Amino acid sequence: MDPQNPYQSPQSPVTAPDTGDQELAERGIRLVAAIIDGVIMMVLMLPLMFVGGYFAAVTEAAQTGSQPYGLQILWGLVGLLLFFAVQYLPLSQTGQTWGKKVMKIKIVDLDGNKPSVGTLLGKRYLFQNGIGIIPCLGAVVSLVDILMIFREDRRCLHDQIAGTRVVVAR
C-alpha cells in the first residue's frame, strides 16, 4: 500500500482455484446429471403420490382455498428419504449419483478424495434438498444455491457447506 495514499485499496494477486490434477466438471454436464436424477425421482415419486392421495388432497385444498403446507412438507420429506435410498449405493461407492455416473462426473472433497457418505447425504444433499421443502424461503435459498455455480470455482452453496466440488471422473 502506498504510504502516501491511505485510501488506496489493498492490492493482492488473483489466482485461479487450485483443483490439483482434477478437471472441474462443466456446468452443462452438471445440469444434465441433475436432470437425470430429477427424472429418476419423478418416475418413483409420482406413482407414490398418486396412490398416497397427494393429488386428491391438493385438488381439494385448491377448491376450498386453503394451502396444504403440512402435506407438502410431509411429501417433501418422503421424497428426501426416497432420494437417500435411491442414491445411497452410488454415493457410498464412488461419490456419484446415478446422473453423475451417466455423465462421468463425481463429487470429491477439497483434497480430491471421495467424501464420506455421511458428508454427502448429511451436509450436501440434506441441505440442498431439505431447504427446498420449506415454503417460500426454500425457493429463494435454492435459487441462490444454484446460481453460485457461476462463480469461478463452480461450487454451489451446497458444495461450500459440504466442502466438496464436482470433477470429471477418470
Q: 121, exposed or middle or buried, with CB in 10 Å at 0-12, 13-18, 19+?
A: buried
- Domain limits, the chain: 27-168
Name residues of the chain where pLDDT drops below 50: none
pLDDT of residue 15: 61
pLDDT of residue 16: 57
Q: Count how many Cα atoms sit within 13 Å of the Cα of residue 170 in the half-sphere of its side chain.
A: 8
Read out DSSP for the chain? --TT-TTSPP---------TTPPBPPHHHHHHHHHHHHHHHHHHHHHHHHHTTHHHHHHHHHHHT---HHHHHHHHHHHHHHHHHHHHHHHHHHS--HHHHHHTEEEEETTSSPPPHHIIIIIIIHHHHHGGGSTTHHHHHHHHHHHGGGSTT---HHHHHHTEEEEE--
In contact, 114 and 95? CB cutoff 8 Å = yes
In contact, 45 and 79? CB cutoff 8 Å = yes
C-alpha cell at 105: 462426473
pLDDT of residue 92: 93
pLDDT of residue 19: 56
C-beta neighbour count of 129 within 10 angstroms: 20
pLDDT of residue 133: 84
